[in-house]
């Protein structure tokens, strides 16, 4: 009932809360992730062809893991803001949901309640913007590694099966879609518990608890409960 009342007050657009943060996250993430993946994969494949052929099958795994790590570390504050915006609960006073920048400032201001408000002006305060980054890396890096390790060979296999047919755009698109679907299902299923841990840590509002939480502890709490 509380969610329905909140929906009545905010309107149908509540279902799109955090869209601005999602767009702000998608542009730099994709801009870092995909070019880095292509560059790293090409470099590893060239290196393996000349020096270490056994490394070539693992090029997607290594390139995907490193590229995703770079993107996660760079964009973690925006990911934190988006998660908190989407998890925002309407208060009884009907306060307007905070935007992306206000959400980030709220994360920083929470540092004041840990008994050292002066730390807000130091790098020790700003590190709270990367709250949950360890859990995010624990989710995104395996996701990316599994996804590319499944996608690349599956796509090559499907394109090889369809090589006898007319290789038009529809055939190539179908092979890419099928490979992406299979890779996405496998990687998402394998890393979903880590996504739960990341989300729980990023929406935690108690500053003291935030500093003491880690992925392993969160997963154990979920398991016990």
Every domain of the chain and the residues it spans: 1-107+122-131, 138-224
pLDDT at 136: 81
- Interval 30-72: pLDDT, tens: 899 999 999 999 999 999 999 888 899 899 999 999 999 999 9
CB-based burial label for 127 (10 Å; 0-12, 13-18, 19+) = middle
Give the C-alpha separation, 137 to 198, whole Å: 9
pLDDT at 29: 85
Give the C-alpha separation, 56 to 156, whole Å: 14
Contacts of 33 (CB under 8 A, 6+ apart): 67, 68, 70, 71
pLDDT at 178: 93
pLDDT at 159: 86
pLDDT at 129: 75
Mean pLDDT by 10 residues, the chain (225 residues): 51 70 80 93 92 90 94 85 70 60 67 46 60 81 92 90 71 90 94 86 72 79 86
Question: Of 73, 88, 41, which is closest to residue 60 (Cα–Cα)?
Answer: 41
Entry field: residues in the chain = 225
């Amino acid at each position: 009932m509380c969610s329905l009342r909140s929906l009545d007050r905010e309107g149908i657009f509540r279902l799109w809360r955090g869209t601005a943060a999602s767009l702000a996250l998608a542009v730099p993430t994709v801009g870092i992730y995909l070019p880095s993946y292509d560059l790293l994969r090409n470099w590893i494949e060239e290196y393996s062809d000349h020096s270490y052929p056994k490394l070539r099958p693992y090029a997607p795994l290594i390139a995907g893991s490193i590229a995703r790590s770079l993107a996660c570390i760079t964009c973690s504050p925006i990911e934190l803001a988006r998660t908190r915006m989407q998890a925002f609960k309407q208060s009884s006073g009907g306060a307007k949901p905070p935007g992306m920048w206000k959400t980030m400032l709220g994360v920083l201001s929470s540092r004041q309640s840990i008994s050292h408000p002066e730390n807000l002006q130091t790098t020790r305060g700003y590190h709270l913007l990367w709250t949950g980054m360890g859990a995010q890396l624990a989710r995104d890096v395996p996701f990316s590694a599994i996804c590319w390790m499944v996608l690349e060979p599956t796509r090559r296999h499907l394109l090889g099966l369809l090589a006898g047919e007319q290789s038009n755009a529809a055939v190539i698109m179908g092979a890419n879609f099928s490979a992406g679907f299979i890779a996405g299902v496998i990687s998402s299923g394998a890393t979903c518990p880590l996504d739960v841990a990341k989300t729980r840590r990023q929406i935690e509002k108690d500053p003291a608890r935030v500093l003491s939480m880690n992925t392993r502890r969160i997963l154990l709490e979920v398991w016990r409960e």
